Chain A
Amino acid sequence: MIQLIRTEIAKLGGSLALLFALVVPALTSCLALLTIVVNERQSSWEMILGGFTLPLWVLFIFPMATATFATLCAQIEYRAKAWDHLLALPYPRWQLFAAKAIVVQGALMLMTVLLFVYTYGLISLAGWIIGEMPSGNPQVARIADSSVRFLAAGLLLTVIQLWVALRFANFVIPLAVGIAGTLVGLAVTMVGTEDADWFPWVLTLRASGEDWMQPVLIGLTGGIIAIGLMLLDLSRRAPR
């Protein structure tokens, strides 16, 4: 299994998926910088990281990035027509797909870490250039805590996206699922209803707030069940 995971990581080298994983957090950080630049009042680290970067990431960028990254990872195999080769390797099939799921989840965690590293670096650099740093502390522990919670709650969303991406050769399908899910998530947030708290694309936002226990439990439990079903389905169907 370790070899499979290492191979999946090696496959990302030089791929569009890797480029995407590095660039998207940077672009989000640039957006954070822009808000500081246009804001005439002095900003605080709490506002920049906890009040802008994290919500933007959780509500919009993360679900879209999950859809795109999962699709790009699956398309690495589809474009190479590599399924026959992979499935003929002397490994249990479920391990091939499980390795992919682990790498995708790991990459999303890394992207979240990069987001805060980039944002902190970029804002610090800008503050050093203009001679005015944001007030307060970055509150790393609080940000890390929120991130762990929303990533755990996001497991269900990640598995759904990866499942659809691996299941269908046509990349439009997982992207459409991702866009539709994100839009519904946005609508639910704007309306402020609590009727759709179970919706996978809403769970991440709920988990990063105060009442995080229920969304984390639903996201984690649902994610674990979904990954089991995904491995069963993909092992039986064998993608082409």
Chain B
Amino acid sequence: MLMGFAIETDDLRKELGGRPVIRGCSLQVPEGSVYGFIGPNGAGKTTVMRLLLRVLKADSGSIRMLGHDMNSDPRRALAKTGAFVESPALYEHLTARGNLDLTRRLLGLPESEIDRVLDVTGMARHAARKVRDYSLGMRQRVGLARALLGKPELLLLDEPTNGLDPEGISEMRELIRDLPDRIGATVFVSSHLLSEVEQVASHAGLLREGQLVMQGRMQSLLASERTLVVGTDKPKEAITLLTAAGHTVRFGGSHQLAITCSRGSEFADFAQRINTSLVESGIGVSELREESRSLEDLYKTAAGTGLKGEAA
């Protein structure tokens, strides 16, 4: 079955203060997906969000959102889009319910919508408190609740886990992961943490210095090269054994080896095979884990793979 795109941009470009901030961004966000928009701080993620929402106008390139051309017909797409950019913009002198009510009125929604989104985000109990008394996590939830008003077909969330404690991050992650099933929305979520996106997204795109350097299914990204770290009491013997078996091995520490797994999707089997072969050769294994990957690693991988433009 052919899948449409909730967001489709073509070579977006934007200069701010005479400096090119977005230098070619062609997104393809499949309908019904959770699309992780990854990039380091300053890569231009928030600017792309602003361009998508028409808060900023692109210097060149085109945007189609939910089937509407954002140059000629932005309001029809925006009416079906919920968003929070950078931080949940909330009026501190109002309660959560008061804040939600402002947006509800502007979107012409019934009052019951407020209760629905408060339930979805688990904020119903605290809705009568003023926002100034909220923790950052609660503000993020109210921001998400507001984005959910009117059951939008598309959600744009800019770093929704920013500033949250580990428990808050975990809850927000679950909430985002379930959104396509719960309200049938496509979710476009930005983050500078690869590990965050990895856990919620079905698709991902990598932005670097204003350029989309790769995008595709999360599986495809994960299928790229990964590294297994092995702690052992006999590192020299282990290197000899593994190198002879055709593996790429380097020292990762005094008693640690780093072994490259070229097929990331088969990483679990690979780790098991390495462990078995070492133990069967009488080499003790004290640690077996994946080396955490940085965005930089992924960019390097992207340069060597043809993942760009493989979204659907």
A residues with a Cβ closer than 8 A to B are 3-4, 6-7, 10-11, 13-16, 76, 79-92, 238
**Contact between A80 and B106, CB atoms less than 8 A apart:** no
B163 to chain A, nearest CB (A): 14
A89 to chain B, nearest CB (A): 6
Which of A7, A82, A85 contacts B105 (CB under 8 A)? A7
**Contact between B83 and A13, CB atoms less than 8 A apart:** no
Given A14-B94, A76-B91, A91-B106, residue A84 in contact with residue B78 (CB < 8 A) = no
A60 to chain B, nearest CB (A): 28
* Chain B, 93-149, CB within 8 A of any chain A CB: 93-94, 98, 101-103, 105-108, 130, 146
B127 to chain A, nearest CB (A): 15
B residues with a Cβ closer than 8 A to A are 50, 53-56, 74-76, 78-79, 81, 83-87, 89-94, 98, 101-103, 105-108, 130, 146
A31 to B53, CA, bound (A): 50
**Contact between A10 and B53, CB atoms less than 8 A apart:** no
Given A88-B78, A90-B79, residue A10 in contact with residue B89 (CB < 8 A) = no
- Nearest CB in chain A to that of B146: its residue: A85
**Contact between A10 and B86, CB atoms less than 8 A apart:** no
**Contact between A85 and B89, CB atoms less than 8 A apart:** yes
Given A15-B93, A76-B91, A81-B87, residue A88 in contact with residue B55 (CB < 8 A) = yes
A53 to B106, CA, bound (A): 40
Q: List 24 A-B contacts (CB under 8 A).
A: A7-B105, A7-B106, A10-B98, A10-B101, A10-B102, A11-B102, A13-B93, A14-B93, A15-B93, A76-B91, A80-B90, A81-B89, A82-B89, A82-B90, A84-B85, A85-B84, A85-B85, A87-B53, A89-B78, A90-B74, A90-B75, A90-B79, A90-B107, A92-B75
**Contact between A3 and B53, CB atoms less than 8 A apart:** no
- Nearest CB in chain A to that of B50: its residue: A84
A207 to chain B, nearest CB (A): 35
Beyond the given pairs A14-B94, A91-B106, 6 more chain A to chain B contacts, judged by CB atoms under 8 angstroms and listed by A's residue number, are A3-B108, A10-B101, A14-B93, A80-B92, A87-B53, A91-B75
Given A4-B106, A91-B106, residue A80 in contact with residue B85 (CB < 8 A) = no
Which chain B residues lie closer than 8 Å to A86 at the CB level? Answer: 89
**Contact between B86 and A81, CB atoms less than 8 A apart:** yes
B188 to chain A, nearest CB (A): 13
Q: Which of A14, A15, A87, A88 has the most CB of B within 10 A?
A: A88
Which chain A residues lie closer than 8 Å to B87 at the CB level? Answer: 81
**Contact between B94 and A13, CB atoms less than 8 A apart:** yes
Which chain B residues lie closer than 8 Å to A88 at the CB level? Answer: 53-55, 78, 81, 83, 85
